[in-house]
Amino acid sequence: MKTDFSELTACAIEAATKAGEILRAGFGTHFRISSKEGRNNLVTEYDTKSENFILDFIKSKFPHHFFLAEESGESGTVASDEVQWVIDPLDGTVNFAHGIPIFSVSIAATLHGETLCGVVYQPILDELFVAEKGKGSFMNGKPLHVSSSHDITSSFLVTGFPYNIDSNPHYCLETFVDIVKQGIPVRRLGSAAMDLCYVACGRFDGFFEINLHPWDVAAGVLILSEAGGKITQYDQSDYSIFDHTILATNGLLHSPIAEILLANYRKFQSKK
């Protein structure tokens, strides 16, 4: 299926695929790795190379736009009628640094707090996920739809853990154990952008995580929502990319998963 995307989306696609080529070339080679705040929160020279390329590329097309990018931060106070690009140049840095081929580039364009388009590119499998508000979402040009799984006991879920896991925020360890104990398979891929896209294309039925950043989720949330998915906070209230908890599902399993997440939170909170 061919969709006519806007100039913004076309720019995001080109930036993400070219940045993906940079990552693909660097993957498995020797490169500099250093630590950011928090143990095991790594940054490689390819995070920086990818981000510099993306920023230069978008600026060459849209010189007046603003940026919120993981490695260089916010490019100034956003004028209210101007686009802000939200960029994760390498989502899954820990995997990349250890030679695990699960990582992606994530680029979204936002206006007035709303995401207009989102692109996630996985360079090793050459999978390009694209969504534009109101136009559906696609992987390599094929329309995406969430799974139709409605029984939580046979569902397939994905999650992630924050870098400050040592303080066990939101009782995420107990929640994980509780779900796994019910026999529900839960994966931990290490790229939140991919987690969201994999729910969008029905590979997973649901995803939950805490303490993510806007650049981890901005593109993936639009891709999932355009594929018919549902995204809220753990308590099922409205979600924004600046929120602390995210529950993203095929819609059918949303309430049952939310119940487990909240029941755990309450249980451990009351034991404090």
Q: Given the rule CB under 5 A, which residues bind Ca ion?
A: 70, 88, 90-91, 216
* Site stretch for ligand IPD (CB under 6 A), options 50-58, 108-116, 184-192, 259-267: 184-192
- Find all residues with CB under 8 Å of 91, minimum gap 6, and list them: 103, 104, 105, 106, 120, 191, 192, 193, 194, 215, 216
List 158's β-bridge partners, or say none: 187, 207
Per CB under 6 A, contacts with ligand IPD among 129-168 are 160-162
Cβ at position 82, least distance to ligand IPD in Å: 25
Distance of CA 232 to the CA centre of its chain: 14
Smallest distance, Ca ion to C-beta of residue 158, A = 15
Report the residue number, 31 or 62, with the smaller CB distance to ligand IPD.
31
Stretch that binds ligand IPD, among 57-65, 84-92, 170-178, 223-231 (CB under 6 A): 84-92
Per the structure block, which two tokens stand in for 24? 């693909």
| Residue 212 contact partner, candidates ligand IPD, Ca ion, none, CB within 5 to 8 A by sort of partner | ligand IPD
Q: At its nearest, how many Å lie between ligand IPD and the CB of residue 211?
A: 6
What does the chain come to in residues? 272
Quick one: which of 51, 132, 205, 216 contacts ligand IPD (CB under 6 A)?
216
- Smallest distance from Ca ion to CB 93, Å: 5
Residue 13 vs 102, nearer CB to ligand IPD = 102
DSSP string spanning 99-116?
T-S--EEEEEEEETTEEE
Rounded Cα distance between 76 and 239, Å, is 24
Selected from 212, 223, 241, 247, the binder of ligand IPD by CB under 6 A is: 212
Cα 105 to chain centroid, rounded: 9
Strand, helix or coil for residue 254: helix
**Nearest residue to ligand IPD on Cβ basis:** 160
Residue 50 to residue 47: CA distance in whole angstroms: 5
Per rule CB under 6 A, is residue 247 in the interface with ligand IPD?
no
Q: Does 223 interact with ligand IPD (rule: CB under 6 A)?
A: no
- Expressed in percent and rounded to 5, the helix, strand and coil fractions of the chain are 35, 25, 40
Binding region for ligand IPD (CB under 6 A) out of 25-33, 130-138, 187-195, 232-240: 187-195
With CB under 5 to 8 Å by kind, the binding choice for 202 among Ca ion, ligand IPD, none is none
Quickly count: other Cβ atoms within 10 Å of residue 256's Cβ. 15
Place of tokens 């650049």: 215
Give 163: exposed, middle or buried? Use CB within 10 Å, 0-12, 13-18, 19+: middle
Residue numbers at the binding site for ligand IPD (CB under 6 A): 88, 91-94, 160-162, 190-192, 209, 212, 216
